Amino acid sequence: MRRISFLVLILAALWPPVGMVAAQTSATELLPDGEQFGSGWTSLERVGTVTGPPSAFTSVAHGVYVGPRGTRLIAAVYVIANGMNELTAAWERGNSDFESYRALIGGGNDPQREDNLALEPLPKGCSDGRRTSGIEHVGYGKFLVGLSLCIVETDLMVLAFVSGPVGGGGGYEASDAAVAVIVAGANAVTSEAG
């Protein structure tokens, strides 16, 4: 947590005049179609919402996806407003959402697991983040679950909660794979807009 807070201060000091994502796109535009996650994936819902401190974000969107063998993905994209206070407020909201989802994961509150995962490389495009994994109990079944929070530059944050495999992996590898798909799509959208 200290590492993330320190990064927020460093990023705020280096804040660009206008963020590429924030200046040109809404969060809803950055949520991919289901097929972007692979064969058999579909989008059930993609909606823009207003959450958290309104000044922290220019837009926020949530998506619900289902994939092969019952895999579920809940994704959130936050386009962060320009400014040091906004970046700090955005990180606070992202961490709050992370904690809410982590509470749903059996074994997801293991601080040692999160510390160990902090040593693993982040998904491509993420400058900092958090993640954990554990088990979700649904009926008589148990599903490997992953949760990843990623900040991209200083104007975009992505959260992914995945129950089941994505990109061949489970747990945090699945949520990292989902984050990577969303970040790559966001980069493509902003490149086309620029």
CATH number at residue 42: 3.40.1000
Q: Which pairing describes strands 128-138 and 156-163: parallel, antiparallel, or unpaired?
A: unpaired
pLDDT class of 131 with cuts at 50, 70, 90? very high
**Residue 187's pLDDT band (boundaries 50, 70, 90)?**
confident
Read off the amino acid at residue 142: K
The beta strand positions in the chain, using DSSP E, are 42-49, 57-66, 72-80, 128-138, 141-152, 156-163
pLDDT, average across residues 2-7: 46
pLDDT of residue 109: 66
Q: Strands 141-152, 128-138: parallel, antiparallel or unpaired by DSSP?
A: antiparallel
Total structural domains within the chain: 1
Would you say residue 90 has pLDDT above 50? yes
125, 140 contact by CB (below 8 A): no
33: which DSSP letter?
A: P
Residue with tokens 């809940």: 74
- Total-model pTM: 0.84
Convert the pLDDT of each residue in 174-185 to its tens digit: 999 999 999 998
* Domain with 122 in it: 2-193
Is 72 in contact with 165 (CB distance < 8 Å)? no
* Percent of the chain scoring above 90 in pLDDT: 47
CA distance 122 to 172: 10
